[in-house]
Amino acid sequence: MPSFANRPNRLDPRGAAEVSAGGSKQGRASCEPSGPPRRTKPVGFSAWRTLWLAGLVVLVGPLNRPGQAAPWDKLKLFKHVEAKEDADYTVSEENGPWMILAVTFLGNNAMHDARELVYELRKKHKLTAYTHKKRFDFTGQVRGRGLSRHGGPKVMRYQRDKAYDEVAVMVGNYPSVDNSAAQATLKKLKYLWPDCLKNEQGEVSRPLASWRELKRFADRYNKDQDQGKGPLGHAFLVTNPLLPREYYVPKGIDQFVIDLNQGKDYSLLDCKGRYTVKVATFTGRTIIEAPGVKNQQAKFNGEGQLAKAAQRAQDLTIYLRKKGWEAYQFHDRHSSIVTVGSFNSVGNPRPDGKTEINPAIYKIMQTFAPPKPVAGSAARHPRTLTAAKIPLDLQPIPVEVPRRSIARDYDHSLGMR
All residues at 6 or more sequence positions from 270 whose CB lies less than 8 Å from its CB, including other chains: 328
Query: Does residue 153 sit within a domain?
Result: no
| In a domain? residue 368 | yes
Please tell me whether residues 234 and 285 are part of one structural domain. no
Residue 116 shares a structural domain with residue 209: yes
Q: What is the pLDDT of residue 147?
A: 78
Is the four-CA dihedral 299, 302, 304, 309 of positive or negative sign?
A: positive
Residue 245 lies in a domain: no
Boundary-marking domain end, from 187, 204, 239: 239
Is 146 among the domain residues? no
Sign of CA dihedral 293, 294, 296, 298: negative
User: Domain check: are 259 and 405 in the same one?
Assistant: yes
The verdict on residue 265 lying in a domain is yes
Residues 264 and 405 in one domain: yes
The pLDDT score that the predictor gives to residue 220 is 54
One domain for residues 51 and 169: no
- In a domain, residue 250? The reply is no
Residue 333, C-beta contacts closer than 8 angstroms, at least 6 positions apart: 256, 257, 286, 287, 288, 289
Query: Do 106 and 183 have their domain in common?
Result: yes
Q: Say how far apart CA 81 and CA 268 lie, in whole Å.
A: 46
Instruction: Report yes or no on 83 lying in a domain.
Output: no
Looking at the structure, do residues 366 and 260 belong to the same domain, yes or no?
yes
Report the number of distinct structural domains present in the chain. 3
Same domain, 210 and 286: no
The closest alpha carbon to 45, from 16, 80, 84, 6, belongs to: 16
Nearest Cα to Cα of residue 171 among 189, 194, 197, 196 = 189
Per-residue pLDDT of the chain (417 residues; tens, 9 = 90+): 444 444 444 434 444 444 434 444 444 444 444 444 454 444 444 454 554 445 544 444 444 444 444 444 444 445 689 999 999 999 999 998 999 999 999 888 999 999 999 999 999 999 999 999 999 998 988 888 777 788 788 888 888 788 989 999 999 999 889 899 999 999 999 999 999 987 655 555 444 545 545 555 555 555 555 567 889 999 999 999 999 887 876 667 778 888 889 899 999 999 999 999 999 999 865 444 444 444 444 444 444 788 889 999 999 999 999 999 999 999 988 899 999 999 999 888 877 777 789 999 999 999 999 887 766 666 677 888 766 678 899 899 999 998 876 445 444 444 444
Distances from the Cα of 187 to the Cαs of 102, 230, 232, 239, in angstroms? 11, 11, 10, 18
Q: What gap in Å lies between CA 305 and CA 175, rounded to an integer?
A: 37
For residue 331, what are the CA distances in angstroms to 174, 285, 290? 32, 12, 18
Range of the domain at 345: 255-410
Residues 389 and 287 in one domain: yes
Q: Do both 309 and 218 map to the same domain?
A: no
* Beta strand ranges found along 121-256 (DSSP E): 129-137, 141-147, 153-157, 163-174, 236-239
Q: Quick check: is 249 in a domain?
A: no
229 and 331 part of one domain:
no
pLDDT at residue number 240? 95
Output the pTM of the full model.
Answer: 0.47
User: What is the edge-to-edge ordering of all strands in the sheet holding 163-174?
Assistant: 129-137, 163-174, 98-106, 236-239
Which domain-ending residue is among 239, 273, 308? Answer: 239
Q: Are residues 129 and 212 in the same domain?
A: yes
The domain boundary residue, chosen from 16, 43, 66:
66
